[in-house]
Every structure is written in C-alpha cells, then in structure tokens.
C-alpha cells in the first residue's frame, strides 16, 4: 500500500441518506451508479474495480452489482474478474465476489469459474473454499478450495482433478 493511492470516481451519485438521526448499521447510505475504484502504485495501475451499482452502508461495506475487476501487472492488463455481485470493504478495499464468478487470464489462456471468491488487497491474492473449475485449452481442472494470484500465474488448488481434453 506504500505509495499507493486510491481514487474513487463516480459518474452518477444518488444519495439515499435520511436527514436527521443516523441510520442503523447495514442500512444503505448512498447508491452509486457506474461505480469505479482503482489502486495505483508508482504511477501504474494495480487494479481497477467497476460496478454497475454500489450500495454504500454504514457498516463499512459497499454492496456492488455486476462488478468487474481488472488487474494489471507492470502496467499491463493481466486478468479480469467478473461476478453477478460482490462486496467491497471500505477500510481494506478487500473485495468479495459472489455468484457466477469468472476470472479470465489472457496471457495464460486460463479461465476460472467459482461461486465465491475473496480478493485481498494486502497480499493481492484470491481465495475461496468453494468448488473451482479451471479451463485451459488442453485441460479442465476441478477442485475445492483455491488460492491464486491475480494474474493466475500462481495457483494452488485442493482436491484437484484434471481431465485432459
């Protein structure tokens, strides 16, 4: 995180705050559309989060709809993660992706499918305890439980079964 800076941009903002007393935790404070968030280091993109909608709540989390995470390595786009929905922790910026999670790593010609995936900005790694399917031109690899870097160049999969095709 040293030298990194976070930029939050929003194309449109609709405030759902109630005037007067503070809303209970979990209640939506703000709804942002075309939500964009990114992290850079030494002038280069590390990652960029885009979502159709983000519901910001008091509990320090943003519920995001149709999130798309673009990861960069040395400034070059390395992979893209998409899901139906997810959550961003506003303090740590950790992201949890849920439902139809797909990561496409173009250089590695690898696509990963799962139902839930957590991304930690601290060590820049994905983790899940759910079932995972990795599809490559030569193989389909199934497993349960996984840890991987954002470019899918370092993947650890548990209970793996590989079928060559």
Partner 1 sequence: MTASWALLLLLCGLCSAAGDNGSSAATPSSTTLHEELIGSVVRSARWNIRRGGGNTVEEMTGDVTYERQGRYLRADSAVYDHKSGWLDAKGSILARQSLDRGETISLDGQQGRFNMKTKLGQLTGLDPLDPVRFAFAGATQASGTARRLRWDASAMTAVLEEDVRCSGPQGTASADQALYNHPEGSLTLQGRRPVLQAALPTWSAAVQADSIVFLKLPSLPGTHRLRTLAEGAVRGWILFPKGLKDR
Instruction: Provide the 8-state DSSP code for 66.
Output: S
- Degrees (nearest 5) of the Cα angle 146, 112, 65? 100
Binding footprint of partner 1 on the chain (CB under 8 A): 108, 136-139, 141, 143, 153-165
Burial environment of residue 64 by CB neighbours within 10 A (0 to 12, 13 to 18, 19 or more): buried
Min. distance of Cβ 109 from partner 1 in angstroms?
9
Min. distance of Cβ 157 from partner 1 in angstroms?
5
How many angstroms separate the CA atoms of 78 and 153, rounded? 10
Min. distance of Cβ 141 from partner 1 in angstroms?
6
How many angstroms separate the CA atoms of 92 and 121, rounded? 7
Give the position of tokens 């839930």.
Answer: 116
How many angstroms separate the CA atoms of 122 and 134, rounded? 24
Residue 77 half-sphere exposure, CB side, CA atoms within 13 Å?
Answer: 9
Min. distance of Cβ 102 from partner 1 in angstroms?
19
When the beta carbons of 55 and 149 are compared against partner 1, the nearer one is 149
Min. distance of Cβ 40 from partner 1 in angstroms?
23
- Degrees (nearest 5) of the Cα angle 143, 147, 149? 130
């Amino acid at each position: 995180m040293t030298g990194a800076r976070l930029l939050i941009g929003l194309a449109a903002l609709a405030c759902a705050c109630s005037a007067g007393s503070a809303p209970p935790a979990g209640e939506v404070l703000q709804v942002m559309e075309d939500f964009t968030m990114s992290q850079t280091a030494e002038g280069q993109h590390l990652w960029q989060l885009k979502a159709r909608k983000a519901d910001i709540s008091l509990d320090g989390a943003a519920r995001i709809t149709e999130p798309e995470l673009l990861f960069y390595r040395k400034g070059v786009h390395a992979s893209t993660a998409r899901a139906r929905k997810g959550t961003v922790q506003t303090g740590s910026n950790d992201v949890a992706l849920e439902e139809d999670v797909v990561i496409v790593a173009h250089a590695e010609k690898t696509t990963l499918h799962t139902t839930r995936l957590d991304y930690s900005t601290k060590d820049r790694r994905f983790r899940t305890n759910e079932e995972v399917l990795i599809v490559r031109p030569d193989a389909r690899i199934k497993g349960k439980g996984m840890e991987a870097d954002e470019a899918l160049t370092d993947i650890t999969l548990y209970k793996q079964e590989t079928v060559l095709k």
